[in-house]
Amino acid sequence: MNKPIRRVSVFCMLLVLALMARANWLQGVKATALANDKYNKRVQYDRYAHPRGNIFLANGRPMTKSTFVNGLRFKYKQDWTNGEMYAPVTGFSSQTQKNTQIEALEDDFLSGKDDRLFFRNTLDMLTGKPKQGGNVVTTIDEKAQKAAFNALKGKKGAAVALDPTTGAVLALVSTPSYDPGTFAGQDSSAYQKYLDDPDKPMLNRALRETYPPGSTFKIVTAAAMFENRVYNNPDDRTNTPARYLLPNTQQVLPNESKFEPCTNATVLVAMEYSCNTVFAKIGDEVGKDKLAAQAEKLGFNNPKVDIPVRAAESVFPRDSDRPGTALDAIGQHNTRVTPLQMAMVASAVANNGSLMQPYMVDKEQAPDLTTISQTKPKEMSRAFSPETAQKLQTLMQGVVESPGGTGRAAQIPGVTVGGKTGTAQHGENNKDLPYAWFISYAKSGDTPKVAVAVVVESSEGDNRAGIAGGKLAAPVAKAVMEAVLGK
Cβ contact 416:400 at 8 Å: no
Enumerate the β-bridge partners of residue 435: 424
CA torsion sign for 144, 382, 424, 101 is negative
Cβ contact 320:328 at 8 Å: yes
- Closest by CA to 172, choosing from 419, 401, 453, 484, is 453
List Cα–Cα distances, 302 to 27, 63, 70, 290, 296, in angstroms: 39, 30, 45, 17, 7
Supply angle C-alpha 211, 213, 219, rounded to 5: 155
Check 215, 320, 458, 459 and give the catalytic one: 215
d(CA 401, CA 388): 20
Task: Decide: helix, strand or coil at residue 148.
Answer: helix
Instruction: Please tell me what DSSP assigns to residue 312.
Output: P
Query: Phi and psi dihedrals of 418, rounded to 5?
Result: -115, 145
Q: Residue ranges of the alpha helices (H) in 204-353?
A: 218-227, 267-272, 276-286, 288-297, 322-328, 339-350
d(CA 433, CA 425): 7
Task: Decide: helix, strand or coil at residue 151.
Answer: helix
d(CA 64, CA 139): 15
Q: Which residues lie closer than 8 Å to 353 by C-beta, 6 or more apart?
A: 382, 383, 384, 385, 386, 388, 389
Q: Which amino acid is at 158?
A: A
Supply angle C-alpha 294, 264, 434, rounded to 5: 60
Pairing state between β 379-382 and 354-356 = antiparallel
Query: Phi and psi dihedrals of 396, rounded to 5?
Result: -70, -35
Give, to the nearest 10 degrees, the angle between helix 276-286 and helix 218-227. 40
215 is catalytic: yes
15 sits in which H/E element: helix 3-24
**Torsion over CA of 200, 337, 340 and 397, rounded to 10 degrees?**
-130
d(CA 333, CA 246): 13
Task: Decide: helix, strand or coil at residue 263.
Answer: coil
CA torsion sign for 462, 465, 466, 471 is positive
Largest Cα–Cα separation, the chain:
112
Which positions are annotated as active-site residues?
Answer: 215
